[in-house]
Amino acid sequence: MAFRQLRGVRALHTTPPVRQSAAEITSDFLARLTADSSAPNRGQSQADNAARGMIGSVGLRHSPSEDGRRQFRPNEFAEPHVYKESNLYPTQKPRPRPPLLGPSKRVAKQIDPFYIRNANPLDHCTNPLMSMAFIDPIGRIKGRNQTGLTWRSQKMVGKMVRRARAMGVIPHWSNRPAPGGLGERDFNRFSSSRG
């Protein structure tokens, strides 16, 4: 049935406008950034792909159509079986596991801040905020797959964290500082906001 617009009557659009997904916008933005760079390298494209993969894997919000849920439109009738629990809440897709290994040597050299600045992580063992950035909530040292560091920097970061624990700068079993261990201003960063 075709919709005809009557004279003097303005049609109202009740359907939301079609929008680009956040992942497409991000990849378009990265493509524009890489296109602007002069003298593209072969290694650079591999790093760009790795960066795109990392940004794409960040928890972007998905639209309901990507979740497999049915979208309801105005003036559309639905049969009763559509409202069954199995149809309204489809089973969750298995989430992709994080990578078991860290990035390749070439990519790690481009994203490792210690390698880029030619800095030694052991120079920062008295800085609790630096040490706590590389441990998880239980207090374990994060692996290379989570930090993205080079092998050498990862080894030095592990040494830095163990040294900071031995000096009592950071706790052994948590990534939260002991109350009073840091200044009040820095400790507020870790405490949950309470109203």
Structure tokens at 35: 């296109």
Q: What confidence tens digit (pLDDT) does each residue in 123-177 have?
A: 999 999 899 999 999 999 999 999 999 999 999 999 999 999 999 889 888 877 7
DSSP H or E stretch at residue 65: helix 64-67
What is the reported pLDDT for 174? 84
Rounded to the nearest 10 degrees, the angle between the axes of helix 22-36 and helix 42-57 is: 160
Structure tokens at 101: 């290994």
pTM beyond cutoff 0.75: no
d(CA 55, CA 16): 27
Structure tokens at 58: 């960040």
- Region 98-118: mean pLDDT is 91
For residues 110 and 54, the answer to whether their CB atoms sit within 8 Å is no
CATH fold of 105-187 reads 30s Ribosomal Protein S18 (4.10.640)
